[in-house]
Amino acid sequence: MKRFVVVAVPMLAGVTIGLLWWQPGTEHSASVQAEPAALSKTEESGQGLELKPGSERRLGVFKLVHGRDLSLSTADTTDGKSCLIESGEADADSSVCLEDGLFTLRKVAFSVDSQGGPQRFSELHVPGVVASGVRSAEILKTDGSSASLDLSSEGAFVYESPESDLEQAIYPNGFRLYGPSGRLAETVHFPTGP
């Protein structure tokens, strides 16, 4: 037993010291010392938003170009806002919340999410959901072109800017939304480019 203790205590001390100094490497690791690993998504998300129980509506999971999954849902907050909520494996949790419903001011609720900048973006995607009367939609771009959006059965979409667009600083800057008869229902412009 004595020999076991003689071996176990130094081993434990070694493991302890190793745990104190080890950390997973990241691109920013040079500035970080002996810090706990990243928290899980559930621990990080949405502390300023108190969601009304039972109000969540799942809109679907979308596969991004690099293979990541992006999950969209809507929910109401206890203080009367309606939110479009985005969560993913590697992507940060985010939400857009509007007073008096998601579609009171426009027939699409969305955000513009990006990495990189401020001069140039390395990734950019636009998650959103259209109002029930909208049957098809296009996203408008800063070069004057447009691309049709692939709407899910719930009216949700995720548009990703292709790398060729980002290299040329071509960004989404609006939507054209069409009703059941194919007539233009609304044009929405982002107040500025991203």
Partner 1 sequence: MRRLVLALAFAALLLAALGVGKGAADTFYGYTSPGTWFSSGQGYGSVYDNICSRWSENHFSKGGSAWGLITFIDSGGGWHDSMQGFGWIHRAPSSLNWTKKLHCRNNSGVGYQGGCFGYRHAYQCA
Please say which residue, 63 or 120, places its beta carbon nearer to partner 1. 120
Scanning residues 40 to 79, which ones bind partner 1 (CB under 8 A)? 44-49
Q: Minimum Å distance from CB 46 to partner 1?
A: 7
Q: Which residues contact 84 (CB under 8 A, 6 or more apart)?
A: 72, 73, 74, 95, 96, 97, 102, 109, 110, 111, 127, 128, 129
* Residue 33 touching partner 1 (CB under 8 A): yes
Supply angle C-alpha 49, 51, 53, rounded to 5: 165
Q: Is 107 left (phi over 0), alpha (psi -120 to 50) or beta?
A: alpha
Residue type present at position 4: F
What are φ and ψ of residue 23, in 5° steps? -150, 150
- Tokens linked to 43: 């621990």
* Residue 9 touching partner 1 (CB under 8 A): yes
Site string for partner 1, 79-118 (x = CB under 8 A): --x--------xxxxxxxxxxx---xxx---xxxxxxxxx
Cα 101 from Cα 186, distance rounded (Å): 17
Q: Which stretch binds partner 1 (CB under 8 A): 28-36, 130-138, 139-147, 177-185?
A: 28-36
Site string for partner 1, 129-168 (x = CB under 8 A): ----------------------------------------
Cα 192 from Cα 173, distance rounded (Å): 7
Residues lying near partner 1 in the complex (CB under 8 A) are found at 1, 4-5, 8-9, 12-13, 16, 19-20, 23-24, 26-29, 31-39, 44-49, 81, 90-100, 104-106, 110-118, 121, 190-192, 194
